Structures are given as structure tokens and as C-alpha cells.
Amino acid sequence: MEINRKKMSYLNIKNVIKNYNNEDNIIKNLSLKVEKGEFLVIVGPSGCGKSTLLRMIAGLEDINSGEIEINGKIINNVPPADRNIAMVFQNYALYPHMNVEKNLSYGLKNRKIPKAEIATRVKDISKLLQIEDLLKRKPSELSGGQRQRVAMGRAIIREPKIFLFDEPLSNLDAKLRTQMRIEIRKLHDKLKITSVYVTHDQIEAMTLADRIVVLNSGIIEQVGTPDEIYHEPQSLFVSKFMGTPPMNIFKSKVYDNVANLFGKEMKLDRNINDNEVYIGIRPEDIYLEPIENSIKIEINIDMVEKLGSESLIYANIDNHNFIVKTNEKINKSLKSLYVYIKNEKMYLFSAKDEKLIKKQ
Amino acid sequence: MKKVQFNNKFIPYLFVSPQIIIILVFFIWPSIMAIYYSFVMQDAFGVSTQFVWFQNYKDALLNSDYYSSFGFTLIFSTLVTFFSLGTGLFLAHKTNSMIKSRGIYRTLLMWPYALAPAVVGLMASFFFNQSHGDVYHFLNQLGWKFDPTSDPFSAQAMLVFIASWKQVSVNFIFFLSGLQGIPKSVLEASFIDCKSNSKRFWTIIFPLLAPTTFFLFITNITYSFFDTFGMIDTTTRGTPMGETKTLAYKIYQDGFLGADIGGSSAQSVILMLFVLIITIFQFKYLEKKVHY
């Protein structure tokens, strides 16, 4: 299959609102554009509306107001089978009574595609996904990874305009998940079909996406490349959600741009208009050796987790939990430790609206 | 599961004894007695008993009445199974696609199940009654010279109707639970793959219901063979001209009304073998096709 940019599709979501039975809106006036050939990952905690959003694109859920367009054509009232989308489901949703070959060809048969063409496509796809030997097997005779491939194949074979993935890797074990993640990305680079991928797993989001959408209770918190999302989180929510282990967050009073961090005063390099602020520090931005322009804090160690190349120190200061990630060797019997925090590595968020306070 | 060890050897037997006793008293013993009676001939008062080998079987199988009853039973059970399965599936599918008040329909459609077959027959005899039956008059107004007392076809149609009606509720509830057992995501995948509702039903939903359908198919055939006895006894009693006699009803008439214990026992044994063969056949050939 050749990549033809003209044939690629884009998706436009305009002011979409969704609620069930007039309860609180699940999706609150959401607008989003997915560019041609882009791999967009929607990430958020469970219940944030990410699956609902995907299902609305697929046509499996109605929209209360707003518009969804594919290539500029409104598809609000187009039935799922006519939207020219393909979806990969979390539990694969293979047809249990059909063998792999029939699972792959079912959607094509219903679209009255000639038999010879179906046969070639089945052959091509099964070769691409290395499921040639499984064509005569029923889904119950396949392993999790094989089912996942068949589910992918059933979507690809249709040559859809848009690919939708609903947490497709969450039923696989950790090793297989990593492997399939790489395969999905490779496949996308090969086929360049515009894709929307929903997940709650931030590592999947970071590794797969061209752009990430962070969704929180029906509102887009931030849209950006994985680097932007990680290094320039625009809100407290994004900063807490992305990153393992999560960012350390403390609340601090501010007076005249001076914050109070566990009894130590620190002149901030940003202008703060409030008298209170959230301070966020990534675990990897905390130093164990003295560095310039930093403050020194003593932490009480609760536990040290050795991960091989790095160690995680779970600690507390004045009953605030505090995580440090370091490459240095840590003695497990250590009870306390001095760490160094640098002002410029800090993320500051307004205590009022929880938005990022930018550096000048 | 954890295995329980008993110190006393007899306690496990004590626990399973109620079931074993029930099977022995109500299934095995009557069957053995039927086989015994089918080989003997008795006078009407049971005073003298004579062993006659296969004479009773010969008498039954050489009688033309037996074949007309056999034929009616086959057609009757086929039609009842077809209509009650079809209607049950239709109602279950419609109810399952409802969003509101599904529970009400489920409850209401279950009610006929609570009726005993004899009561269904009694109700039918009012509805289809010549002097004040509403259905009787309605059918005649439609132009059908409907008369279950003298026209065999009318009587047979009436029996098929009421026997199917009674069984619809059971089929409905089983089909409904079968439909609810189909994973939602599989249905959604089929929505994306197939536009036509009817095609989707026959290519995805119906095949996935196959285990339920198979189970109901067997129970419905058994039902129409045996459980319809009460309905027939409270409506046609085999009339007109013996054209509404199922094999089970004929056995009752010959044995209890005709006092021909030997002959009716022979017919019972034949029926038993016949049902056994059907069931073995169904399990052997159909079951292979319904599991995935």
C-alpha cells in the first residue's frame, strides 16, 4: 500500500457536547482537529469521557450538540457502517463463530467488494500482520496477542479513512503490550492512516503519539506533542497525570515572590500575583549533590526501590510525600538524606485556577 | 473445588439418595414396568396375565390409527417448535433492543409460563367455543369456516396455536438472556462492519444464539410430545375423528380408557425409543455445529 497524502483524511470535532439523560455533561463543548495522517492519542483518567468521545466519532453514541466532520463533511447522522472508519476494541470484539479469515472479510463482503479482491486483501493483510497460519482458526483458539493482530487486521483491511483505537493493548501482558505498541507505531508509519487512539496509559500516549490530548472530566486540558506535554504542562492536572513516578506537588505561601519550602525561603524567578502557589518538581529534577542556585532540604526516607539502572526514593518531609529518582547507588538502610532543589526546574501553578505560571 | 472427605463410607450415599430414589421411583421403575407390561396381555380386571412376546408391538404397529397419530405428532411438534421458537426469538429481539420499560415487557411476557397446560386448554375451550368464544366468531367472520368440534384442520390449528402460545414465554426468556449474553463490543463491531439490520441479525446475532436455540429446540420438541397432554385433554380429547391425538394422548386413551395396558405400554416403549433416538441424533449432529 502506497502513501498518498491526497487520499489521507482529516477529522474535525466542533463544539461537541454529550450527556446521558440530561445529567451533567460528559463532554463539555469540545473542539479538536485531527490532521491528515496524524496519530493522535487521547489520554485521561477513567471516566474523563475519552471513550465516549471515540465512540461518538465511530457513531456508536449520539451527540447532543456540535458537529463531527470527516474531510469537511458532517457525519453526525451517518450510520457507523457508512462513516468509513474502523475501530479496534479493548477486548478485540472478534466474531467468535467465524474463523480468522471470515472475521477479516466480513466487513468487505457486506460492502459488496468482489471476491477476488477480498482474497488478495486477506492475503496481503495476513502477511503484513504475520497471521497467515491462523486463517482457519476460530478466535477461541488464538492467544491474546494473536487476537490483537486479527482485530488490527479486521480494521486495516477495510482501508478506512480513520482508525479508532479504544485502549487496544490493555488486555495484554506487559511484555506483549510493549511489543504491540511498537508494531502499531510501525504500522502507522507504513500506512499513514489518520488515527485516534484512546488510552489511560501515559507511556502508550508518550510513545505512540504525534500529538497528545489530555482530557479531564470532558474538557481538554492540553493538546501538544509528547515533549510539550511532558516538559511544558499547562495545568496542574497535566503535570500530575503525565510522568512516572508522578511529579511532586507542594502548596506554598508566597510573599513578594518569595516562597516558603519546608521552612526554607526561596526567591522565585517568576512573578506571582497570588499569595499562594503550587510548586511541582519532577522526581528526576531533584539532586543528591550540591549544585548552584539551589536550596538544601533534608528528607526522611520511607523506602528505596531499586529498578536496576535507577532507584526511586520514597520519602517524606513534614508528612508530605516526596519521590526522588536518581541514578546514584543508594544504601537501603539510609534513614535520611539531603537533597537539592533548583528554582528553574520548578513548575509553578496558580492556586486559583491551577494553570501554569510561565517563566518570563 | 475442595474435596470433602467423609469418615463414614455411607454418608455420601445418604446425601445423594433423595435424587437416586426420585429417579428410581419415578423414572426407572415405571420404565421397567412399561417394558414388562408391553410383553404381556391381561384381561380387563387384571386377573389373568399371559406372556405374549411381541404381540402388543405387532398390534400397535399394524394399526393404521397408530400411524395417523404418529403423523399428527410429528407435524404438531414441528409446527409448535417452529412457531414458539420463532415468536419467542422475535419478542426477545424486540424487547432487547428497547431502552425503556424492558423490565415490564419481560415480566408480562413471562406470565403464561405460570399456567398449567390443562388451564391453558380450559381457557382455550372458552375462547374457541362455538356459542360464546370470541376467537371462534372472529375467525368465522374472517371467512374461515372454523369449527374445532367437527373440522379436524380447525382443531389441529387450534392446538398448534395454544401449545405454541404457552411455550413462547419460556423461549422468550431464554432467548432474551442469550441475547444479553452477546458481548456489547461484538455487536458494536458488527454495526461498523454491516449496515443492514436484518443481515446483521442473521450473520452475527442468530449464529451467536445457536447454543440457546439448540437447547430450546430439544426442550420444545419434548414439550410438544409430552407436556401438551393436558391441553388436548381439556380441549379436543383427540376429536374430531381421532385427528388430534398425539402419541402420548393415544397411549393414555388406549391404556386408561380402553383398558389395554399391554398395548399402551408397547406404544410407550416405542415412543421412548423414538425420543431417545431423536435426542441422540440431535446431540451427535447438531451440537457439533453450535459451539464455537
Lowest pLDDT segment from A113-127, A269-283, B17-31: A269-283
pLDDT at A239: 92
Question: Chain A closest CA to B86's CA: distance in Å?
Answer: 21
**pTM of the shown model:** 0.79
In whole angstroms, how far apart are CA B230 and each of B20, B121, B185, B225, B236?
A: 28, 7, 45, 12, 10
pLDDT at A196: 95
Look over chain A and give the mean of its residue pLDDT values, rounded to a whole number: 89
Q: Are A68 and A12 in contact (CB under 8 A)?
A: yes
Domain that holds residue B164: 56-290
Look over chain B and give the mean of its residue pLDDT values, rounded to a whole number: 84
Is residue B21 domain-resident?
Answer: no
Q: What is the ipTM of this complex?
A: 0.82
Is residue B47 domain-resident?
Answer: no
Mean pLDDT across the stretch A290-294? 84
- Fill in the DSSP letter of residue B113: G
Query: Which residues does chain B have within 8 Å of residue A106's beta carbon, measured at their own beta carbons?
Result: 193-194, 203
pLDDT tens per residue, range B3-55:
667 778 888 889 999 999 999 999 899 888 888 888 887 776 667 777 778 78
Is residue B12 domain-resident?
Answer: no
Q: Are A314 and A246 in contact (CB under 8 A)?
A: no
pLDDT at B291: 61
pLDDT at B120: 84
pLDDT at A123: 92
Q: For B204, which of A55, A95, A138 is closest by C-beta distance?
A: A95
Confidence band for A21, pLDDT divided at 50, 70 and 90: confident
Residue of A nearest to B209 (CA): A97
Residue of B nearest to A158 (CA): B193
pLDDT at B38: 85
Residue of A nearest to B184 (CA): A93
Most confident of A181-185, A343-347, B286-290: A181-185
Mean pLDDT across the stretch B119-139? 82
Q: Are A294 and A277 in contact (CB under 8 A)?
A: no
Task: Determine whether the interchain pair A93/B183 forms a contact, defined as Cβ–Cβ distance below 8 Å.
Answer: yes
| pLDDT surpassing 60 at residue A94 | yes
pLDDT tens per residue, range B255-270:
878 777 888 888 888 8
Confidence band for A164, pLDDT divided at 50, 70 and 90: very high
Check CB contact of A62 with chain B, cutoff 8 Å: no
Amino acid present at A174:
A
pLDDT tens per residue, range B195-254:
888 999 999 999 999 888 888 988 898 888 888 888 888 887 777 777 788 888 888 888
Give me the helix-helix angle, B152-180 and B210-222, nearest 10°. 150
pLDDT tens per residue, range A249-265:
988 888 888 888 877 78
Q: Are B139 and B147 in contact (CB under 8 A)?
A: no
Dist. CA B144–CA A112, nearest whole Å = 46
Q: Which residues pair with A312 in a beta bridge?
A: A305, A325
Instruction: Pick the residue of B192, B195, B214 with the most A CBs within 10 A to test the interface with A by mutation.
Output: B192
Residue of B nearest to A86 (CA): B192
Contacts made by residues A201-208, CB under 8 angstroms, sequence distance 24+: A201/A43, A201/A167, A201/A169, A201/A170, A202/A43, A202/A241, A202/A242, A202/A243, A202/A244, A203/A244, A204/A41, A204/A43, A204/A169, A204/A177, A205/A41, A205/A43, A205/A242, A206/A230, A206/A242, A207/A181, A208/A39, A208/A41, A208/A181, A208/A184
Query: Which residues does chain A have within 8 Å of residue B188's beta carbon, measured at their own beta carbons?
Result: 55, 58, 60, 80, 87, 89, 93
Tell me the three cell numbers of residue A162.
480513520
Mean pLDDT across the stretch B132-157? 81
pLDDT at B96: 87
**Domain total of chain B:** 1
In chain A, the percentage of residues whose pLDDT exceeds 90 is 46
Which residues are CB-neighbours of A66 under 8 A, at least 6 positions away?
A: A13, A14, A15, A16, A17, A29, A30
Mean pLDDT across the stretch A112-125? 92
Compute φ and ψ for A302, nearest 5 degrees. Answer: -90, -40
Confidence band for B192, pLDDT divided at 50, 70 and 90: very high
Is residue B37 domain-resident?
Answer: no
Check CB contact of A66 with chain B, cutoff 8 Å: no
Residue entry with cell 496542574: A236
Task: Determine whether the interchain pair B195/A82 forms a contact, defined as Cβ–Cβ distance below 8 Å.
Answer: yes
Tell me the three cell numbers of residue A27.
463532554
pLDDT at A1: 47
- Fill in the DSSP letter of residue A172: S
Show the domains of chain A with their CATH numbers.
Answer: 5-238 (3.40.50.300), 245-350 (2.40.50.140)
Residue entry with cell 511529579: A247
Is residue B125 domain-resident?
Answer: yes
Is residue B51 domain-resident?
Answer: no
| pLDDT surpassing 80 at residue A184 | yes
Beta strands in chain A (DSSP E): 11-18, 27-34, 39-43, 65-70, 73-74, 85-88, 162-166, 194-199, 211-216, 219-224, 248-255, 258-261, 264-267, 276-281, 286-287, 294-306, 311-317, 320-326, 336-342, 347-350
Mean pLDDT across the stretch B116-126? 84
For residue B269, the domain's CATH number is 1.10.3720.10
Is residue B256 domain-resident?
Answer: yes
Q: Are A201 and A174 in contact (CB under 8 A)?
A: no
Question: Chain A closest CA to B292's CA: distance in Å?
Answer: 5
In chain B, the percentage of residues whose pLDDT exceeds 70 is 96
Dist. CA A238–CA A246, nearest whole Å = 10
Task: Determine whether the interchain pair A87/B192 forms a contact, defined as Cβ–Cβ distance below 8 Å.
Answer: yes
